[in-house]
Chains A and B, each alone.
Chain A
Amino acid sequence: EVQLVQSGAEVKKPGESLRISCKGSGYSFTSYWISWVRQMPGKGLEWMGRIDPSDSYTNYSPSFQGHVTISADKSISTAYLQWSSLKASDTAMYYCARHNEWEPIDPWGQGTLVTVSS
């Protein structure tokens, strides 16, 4: 069974750094891209960017370029989403999901809730 298992909920203060993870199993991790999707409280889905774990090539939405970093460690089948300095506006649920070029996103991880509050 293909699964994406994300790390647990986080509570952070503004200005702190954070890295959340997404571990793939049940498939060849380097054969599919991983995208990250943000969902702010009560709002819709926003595609943030994606990584090709085979070569770590990344592609970001202009809205998120420079604000987050997407990376992957193919040796442990894990992708990451990282912030160097969190803001209150980063409070959201973050989903990772698998896909390839010209393919829809499927499946999705269970989501990681990030809360940023002083």
Chain B
Amino acid sequence: EIVLTQSPGTLSLSPGERATLSCRASQSVSSSYLAWYQQKPGQAPRLLIYGASSRATGIPDRFSGSGSGTDFTLTISRLEPEDFAVYYCQQYGSSQNTFGQGTKLEIK
């Protein structure tokens, strides 16, 4: 089973700032089958990024993903008030899908 470790656990930033979230895998993620999800309180997760760097339908271009192998990054270029939420990475390149433990992005 591939273990995903996200860092930091909590990120405190202000609107307008740039956010950089990390996801590290215990072994190489096949063909960059790595996704990022956003979850707000009381809501189901929403797909943001798939294939490590492709934005899902309707996702603003301030969200971008990068990385390959074992190291992946989600970047939010300029934080909007609605971006403060919990973010999860997920690998779907093996028969056992796994999620990271999440990064909480909070308003500073």
Q: Which residues of A contact B (CB under 8 A)?
A: 35, 37, 44-47, 50, 59, 61-62, 95, 99, 102-111
Contacts and interface: CB of A to CB of B under 8 A. Distances in A.
Interface of B: 1, 31, 33, 35, 37, 39, 44-47, 50, 56, 88, 90, 92-93, 95-102
Secondary structure call for the A interface: loop
Contacts of B33: 102, 104
14 contacts: A44-B88, A44-B99, A44-B102, A45-B37, A45-B90, A45-B99, A45-B102, A47-B97, A47-B98, A47-B99, A102-B92, A102-B93, A105-B35, A105-B45
A110 B44 contact: yes
B97 A35 contact: yes
Given A95-B44, A106-B56, A45 B88 contact: yes
B90 A104 contact: yes
Given A37-B99, A45-B88, A108-B46, 12 more contacts: A35-B97, A45-B45, A45-B102, A47-B99, A99-B92, A102-B93, A103-B92, A105-B35, A105-B92, A105-B97, A106-B47, A110-B44
Contacts of B88: 44-45
Contact of B50 (A47, A62, A104, A108): A104
Given A44-B99, A44-B102, A45-B102, A105 B47 contact: yes
Contacts, number: 61
A106 B49 CA distance: 11
A103 B54 CA distance: 12
Contacts of B90: 45, 47, 104-105
Nearest to B101: A44
The winner among B31, B96, B101 for most chain A CB atoms within 10 A is: B96
A103 B91 CA distance: 10
A109 B45 CA distance: 9
